[in-house]
Amino acid sequence: MEVMDFNEERHKEMNTDGQEMHKNNDKKPQKNSPLRELFSWIFTFAVAFAAALLIKNYVIINANIPSGSMENTIMPGDDVIGFRLAYKFSDPKRGDIVIFWPPTDSKDPYIKRIIGLPGEKVTIEPEEKEVDGATIQVGKVYIDGEALDEDYLKPEEWDASVGPYEFEVPDNCYLMMGDNRNGSSDARAWLEKGLDPYVSKDDIIGKAVFRYYPFNRVGTID
C-alpha cells in the first residue's frame, strides 16, 4: 500500500506561497510624477476656493459692526455671521435681528431688529416712567394698540424726543429699529427724512445668528 506524505505536500505549498509572496514584495509602488502632484494640489485648492465662494455669496454673510445702534445686544467692533437662507422657506419674525439694505443711499448693509410685521399698525409714544427714583419720559412701542414688551432695552435708552410716530407696515415689508433707540438711524429717521421707512423682504440679506468676535462674547445672537 502506498502511503502519501501529507506533511511533505503542505511543506511544498508553504514554500510555493512563500516564493509568491516574495515576488509580490519585490514590486515597488509607482510614484506620481511631479506634474501630476502639482495638478492634484491645484485642483484641491480650486475646489476649496469655489466652495468658500459659494458659501460666502449664498449661505452666510460676514459683518463687522461699525456703530453702537444695536447696543447692548451687539457692540461696536463685534464680528457677526448672518444666515442668508434663513427666510427662503419662512417669513421673518418679530424680534429677529437682520442684516438688510436700508432705504438710504448707503453702500453698506444695516443691522437692526424687526419690530413691525406686514399689515400691523405700529405706534411709538412717549410715556412717563420712574428710573432710579426720578420720573423721566421714555418711549413705548405699541403693536395694533398693545404695548410691546422689549426686555432687551434699557429704560434710560429712550428720551423725551421719541415721537409720537405712527407706521402702517405694508405687505411684504417690515419695520426696523435699533436696540439703542437714542443712537440708531432706523425707521423713525427715515420717516423724518421723507424716505420709505419700511424694508421689503427682498432687501433682507439674512438673519444675524452668531457672534464670533470678541472671543469673550462668542455665542448666538438674539
Provide the pLDDT for residue 38: 78
Q: Is the pLDDT of residue 112 over 70?
A: yes
**Structural domain range at position 171:** 56-220
Provide the pLDDT for residue 14: 47
Q: Report which of 134, 100, 92 is spatially closest to residue 203, judged by C-alpha positions.
A: 100
C-alpha cell at 104: 438710504
| pLDDT tens digit sequence for 70-90 | 998 999 999 999 999 999 999
Does 26 map to a domain? no
Does 166 map to a domain? yes
Question: What CA–CA distance (Å, rounded) separates 5 from 153?
Answer: 96
Mean pLDDT of 83-101: 96
Q: Is the pLDDT of residue 117 over 50?
A: yes
Provide the pLDDT for residue 177: 96
Q: Is the pLDDT of residue 64 over 70?
A: yes
| pLDDT tens digit sequence for 163-207 | 789 999 999 999 999 999 888 999 999 999 999 999 999 999 999
Picking from 5-14, 16-25, 79-88, 141-150, which range would have the lowest pLDDT averaged per residue?
Answer: 5-14
Question: What CA–CA distance (Å, rounded) separates 102 from 190?
Answer: 9
Question: What CA–CA distance (Å, rounded) separates 144 from 94?
Answer: 14
Higher pLDDT, 157 or 188: 188
Does 50 map to a domain? no
CATH number at residue 164: 2.10.109.10
Mean pLDDT of 19-30: 51
Question: What CA–CA distance (Å, rounded) separates 189 from 145?
Answer: 22
Does 65 map to a domain? yes
Question: What CA–CA distance (Å, rounded) separates 78 from 211?
Answer: 7
Provide the pLDDT for residue 31: 59
Residue for cell digits 412717563? Answer: 128
> Measuring CA to CA, how many Å separate 10 from each of 6, 16, 19, 23, 24?
6, 10, 14, 20, 21
Share of the chain above pLDDT 90, in %: 57
67, 102 contact by CB (below 8 A): no
Provide the pLDDT for residue 55: 65
Question: What CA–CA distance (Å, rounded) separates 177 from 101?
Answer: 14
Residues found in the chain: 222
Mean pLDDT of the chain: 83
Number of domains in the chain: 1
Catalytic positions are 69, 112
Does 202 map to a domain? yes
Nearest 5°: the CA angle 202, 208, 213 is 145
**Beta-strand relationship, 198-200 and 173-177:** antiparallel
**Beta-strand relationship, 121-131 and 134-143:** antiparallel
Does 163 map to a domain? yes
Provide the pLDDT for residue 44: 81
Does 212 map to a domain? yes
What is the Cβ-side half-sphere exposure of residue 135, based on CA atoms within 13 angstroms?
Answer: 2
Q: Is the peptide bond before 102 cis (omega within 30 degrees of 0)?
A: no
Does 79 map to a domain? yes
